[in-house]
């Protein structure tokens, strides 16, 4: 009996001092602070900025949003004359607290003929792509920007006007 009590006591001692539990608590605090310092949306539909690969839980909408990356960037580079302005397509994964994840392909412009949509509906909200940065340059092109993209999205109740300010 004494043997079982000593093993149980040692086990509890290890769990209390486990570094993995402490790191999880610390990283949660850092994420909360980062979210509070970055610009987030409110009822007026302000722009929410996400870096490539960044994930944010938007408490107001009970929604988790992840910027997966840019699947296409054919925008005309700076200081170059182009026939077509081009488009950037961002892959944004959204997941509600009671729904499965869904990947939305949001484009920098609407073009129904090419299946580009600037907005998409999810869970009673309309999510729109408002900004894609940086803009490609003439020398490096869009390939040099992989991993460096930042997007701005707006979220509004479905049925409201989805134009950005």
Distance CA 40, CA 148 (A): 20
Give a yes or no: residue 15 inside a domain.
no
Q: Tell me if the bond preceding 130 is cis, omega within 30° of 0.
A: no
Give a yes or no: residue 1 inside a domain.
no
The model's pLDDT over 94-122, given as tens digits with 9 standing for 90+, comes to 999 888 999 999 999 888 888 889 999 99
- In this prediction, residue 106 carries a pLDDT of 94
Give a yes or no: residue 13 inside a domain.
no
- Residue whose C-alpha is closest to residue 149's, from 94, 68, 30, 74: 68
> Is residue 25 predicted with pLDDT exceeding 70?
no
Question: What integer best gives the mean pLDDT of the chain?
Answer: 76
Least confident window among 34-48, 66-80, 128-142 = 34-48
> Using the 8-state DSSP alphabet, how is residue 118 labeled?
S
CA angle 46, 69, 74 (to 5 degrees): 95
Give a yes or no: residue 152 inside a domain.
yes
Higher-pLDDT residue of 37, 42: 42
> Is residue 3 predicted with pLDDT exceeding 90?
no
Contact of 47 with 114, CB cutoff 8 Å: no
Number of domains in the chain: 1
- Phi, psi for residue 6 in degrees, rounded to 5: -70, -40
Give a yes or no: residue 108 inside a domain.
yes
Distances (CA, A) of 96 to 9, 54, 78, 101, 111: 41, 17, 38, 7, 28
CATH of the domain at 79: 2.60.98
Give a yes or no: residue 110 inside a domain.
yes
Give a yes or no: residue 96 inside a domain.
yes
Give a yes or no: residue 61 inside a domain.
yes
Considering Cα of 154, then 156, then 162, then 165, what sign does the dihedral take? negative
95 lies in which domain range? Answer: 41-157
- Residue whose C-alpha is closest to residue 72's, from 127, 111, 122: 111
pTM above 0.75, yes or no: no
Mean pLDDT of 51-60: 92
């Amino acid at each position: 009996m004494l043997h079982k009590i000593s093993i149980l006591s040692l086990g509890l001692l290890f769990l209390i001092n486990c570094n993995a539990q402490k790191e999880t608590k610390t990283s949660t605090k850092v994420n909360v602070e980062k979210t509070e310092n970055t610009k987030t949306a409110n009822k007026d539909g302000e722009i929410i900025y996400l870096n490539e690969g960044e994930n944010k839980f938007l408490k107001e909408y009970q929604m988790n949003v992840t910027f997966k990356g840019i699947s296409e960037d054919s925008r005309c580079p700076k200081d170059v004359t182009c026939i077509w302005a081009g488009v950037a397509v961002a892959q944004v994964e959204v997941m509600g607290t009671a729904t499965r994840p869904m990947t939305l392909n949001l484009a920098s412009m609407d073009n129904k003929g090419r299946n580009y949509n600037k907005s998409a509906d999810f869970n009673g909200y309309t999510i729109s792509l408002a900004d894609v940065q940086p803009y490609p340059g003439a020398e490096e092109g869009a390939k040099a920007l992989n991993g460096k993209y930042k997007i701005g999205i707006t979220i509004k109740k479905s049925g409201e006007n989805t134009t950005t300010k």
